[in-house]
Each structure stands twice: as structure tokens, then as C-alpha cells.
Amino acid sequence: MTTRIKTAPGTSKLLTTGEVARYCDVSTNAVKKWIRNGRLKAFRTPGGHFRVESEDFKAFLAAHQMPIREDFFAGSARRVLVVDDDSQVRAMLCEVLLTMEPAVEVEQAADGYEALLKVGQFAPDLLVMDLKMPRMDGFEACRRIRGNPGTAGTNILIVSGFMDDAAQQELMRSGASDWMRKPLDVNEFRRRVARLLGGAPRAA
């Protein structure tokens, strides 16, 4: 499944170089050249991918007397990255997310390391992430996402069967937005996801 995500420093929609290229009918290399030359403002994700905030792209279009199509900037489906090393759990979470209204786009990752790569590729509004995973656990993934200016605003919902007091305190220090215990109450999971996608402040 392919997810498109919005993990923004602010509230502006984030665009990939491919989206900008298609809008302007040029190659992605041309867009990257605009960025490197300072003509188009952008930032890099942890994986090294460029992202362009929609307001910066609008300013670029206006400065170069190019048309601004408001339908393009009107917004799109919210994007959720599901991160868990158990494929059955990932499938269940994705199934629940894909039944939500308004619609969300969903992508999957099997551990924290893969999650960081996919955050760069797809830029999510929300990560739904397990704690205990190979290669990189949820704590370290949270810290790295929060430590990068390009992804620091991404909401992170931790879903884990290992949620004792020590884990909750470590999650607060790591920057998680919210957490739930497995097995999940599906209706409560939907409520938490809807709140985080609506831009509610992080849980304390």
C-alpha cells in the first residue's frame, strides 16, 4: 500500500519534488535544481528527501508569474504510517484506518529504521507505532523524528503491549503524542487517530 503523508513543521501541506514537477510540467531534477539554487524554499527529511511547504510553492509560482490552481492546494487525504514488526497487527491496523471517515491513505513499515526512511519518502500526518521492534525501537524512532526540524511536527501514536509506568515516562521524554495498550479497543483507537489527525495538541 502506498501512503502519502504530511509531517509538517507548520500547518502547510507538504509537497514532494515529484508533485511540484508534475504541477510545473518539468522533471524532478529541474525542481531539485530550483531548490539548490535557492529559487524554491524546501527542507530535507531524515532520509534526505526534499519537501516543499505549499505556501512556499505558492510564493514561488507567484514570483515566476505561473498560475496558482487552488484545487491543487485545497488538501488531500490524511496520511498514516503504521509501524509494527508483526505483519498481522499491521494488517489489522491498516484495515481499521482504511474504514475511517474522512478517508486516510495508509503505508506500512516493519521497524523504526524502515519508518524513518518512509517518513522521508511519504511524509505522514501520523505514525501509529509499536515499541518493541528489531533494528530500531519506537523510543529511538520518536527521538529521531522529534530531533529533525523537517519532521518534528509529526504526530506519533504508540500502540504497545509493553506499556508500564517506566515506558510511559520514557515515551514522554522521547516525544510521543499519545499511546494505547494492546490489545486495542478499536473504537477508542479510531477516536485517538481522529483527534491526532485533527491537529489536537500533544498529550501530556
Q: For position 36, which CATH number holds?
A: 1.10.1660.10
In the chain, the percentage of residues whose pLDDT exceeds 90 is 57
d(CA 20, CA 24): 6
In a shared domain, residues 52 and 136: no
What mean pLDDT comes out for the span 51-71?
90
Confidence of residue 76 (pLDDT cuts 50, 70, 90): low
Question: Can you say whether residue 175 is alpha, beta or left, with left for phi > 0 and alpha for psi between -120 and 50 degrees?
Answer: left
The answer to whether residues 60 and 99 belong to one domain is no
Q: 8 falls in which pLDDT band (50, 70, 90)?
A: very low
Band (72; pLDDT cuts 50, 70, 90): confident
User: Do 90 and 159 belong to one domain?
Assistant: yes
65: left (phi over 0), alpha (psi -120 to 50) or beta: left
Question: Do 108 and 150 lie in a common domain?
Answer: yes
Number of folded domains in the chain? 2
Q: Are residues 117 and 27 in the same domain?
A: no
pLDDT at 12: 56
- In whole numbers, what is the pLDDT of the chain averaged over residues? 84
Task: Kindly tell me if the per-residue pLDDT of 7 is higher than 50.
Answer: no
Q: How far apart are CA 43 and CA 26, in angstroms?
A: 20
Q: Average pLDDT for residues 116-141, to the nearest whole number?
A: 91
Range of the domain at 107: 78-197
Q: Are 121 and 2 in contact (CB under 8 A)?
A: no
144, pLDDT greater than 60: yes
Residues in a beta bridge with 157: 128, 178
Each residue's pLDDT tens digit, 151-193: 888 999 999 988 889 988 998 899 999 999 999 999 999 999 9
Indicate if 69 and 82 belong to the same structural domain: no
Confidence label for 123 from pLDDT (cuts 50, 70 and 90):
confident
pLDDT tier, 107 (very low <50, low <70, confident <90, very high otherwise): very high
* 18 and 61 belong to one structural domain: yes
Task: Give, to the nearest 10 degrees, the angle between helix 186-197 and helix 87-98.
Answer: 70
Predicted confidence band at 46 (pLDDT cuts at 50, 70, 90)?
Answer: low
Of residues 69 and 179, the one with the higher pLDDT is 179
Residues 83 and 69 both lie in one domain? no
pTM score, two decimals?
Answer: 0.64
pLDDT one-digit tens code per residue, 125-134: 999 999 999 9
- Res 172: pLDDT: 87
Under 8 Å between Cβ of 133 and 108: no
Q: Are 108 and 124 in contact (CB under 8 A)?
A: no
Q: How confident is the model at residue 93 (pLDDT cuts 50, 70, 90)?
A: very high
When pLDDT is averaged across residues 14-37 and rounded to a whole number, the result is 90
Distance of CA 122 to the CA centre of its chain: 7
